Amino acid sequence: MIDATGSVKKQVTCESCSHQYEYEMTRTAIGSYSGFALTRQKADEEAAADAAQKLKTMLEIECDVVPCPKCGALTRQMKAAKAAVVPACFGGLALGGLIVGGVYLFGWWSGRWFIIFGLMGAGLILLSGSVLLVSFWGFITGSGKSK
Ligand SMILES: [Zn+2]
C-alpha cells in the first residue's frame, strides 16, 4: 500500500452573507493494487497511481468544516460533512464492537485468540469514540456562537 498526500486551496462563497474566503484542505489517500504484477516495482507503481486517483477525487469533492470568518455560517456541504461524522463514528463503534465480540466468541469457542484483531477492534472503538466526543464537545461549546 502506498499513500499520497496533497492539498488544495478551496474557494468558498458564504451562503448567508456572500463573503468570499478560502482555506487550504489537505487529504491523504491510500492506494493499493491487488492484481498481478511481475515485479514489486510495477505493483508499487499501480498502487501509487491508485492513490493519486483517489487523492484527486478527494480534493475535488470533499470539504473541511471551515465556518465563514465574517458571520460564522457553514455552507450546506460543510453542514452535511459535519452531520456525516456522527453516523460514521457510530458505525465505527458498532464495527469495533462486532470485531471484539467476534474475537472473544471465537477465542472462547476454539481456544485460539486473535489478539491482533481484538486490538484492531479496540482501536476502532477508541478512535470512533474519541472523534464522537470531540464532535459533541464542539457541538456543545460551539452551539452558543453559531446561529
Ligand atoms: Zn458569512
Q: How confident is the model over 26-82, as pLDDT tens digits?
A: 999 999 998 888 899 999 999 999 999 999 999 999 999 999 999 999 999 999 998
Residue 70 phi/psi, 5-degree rounding, is: -90, -50
Residues in the chain: 147
Calculate Rg over the CA atoms of the chain: 20
Q: How far is the CA of 126 from the centre of ligand 1 (A)?
A: 35
- Per-residue pLDDT, averaged over 122-144, amounts to 82
Q: How far is the CA of 14 from the centre of ligand 1 (A)?
A: 5
Band of residue 143 on the pLDDT scale cut at 50, 70, 90: low
How is the chain split into domains, by residue range? 1-73, 75-147
Q: How far is the CA of 68 from the centre of ligand 1 (A)?
A: 5
Q: How far is the CA of 142 from the centre of ligand 1 (A)?
A: 16
Residue that is written with C-alpha cell 461524522 in the block: 85
Q: How far is the CA of 46 from the centre of ligand 1 (A)?
A: 43
Give me 31's grid cell.
492506494
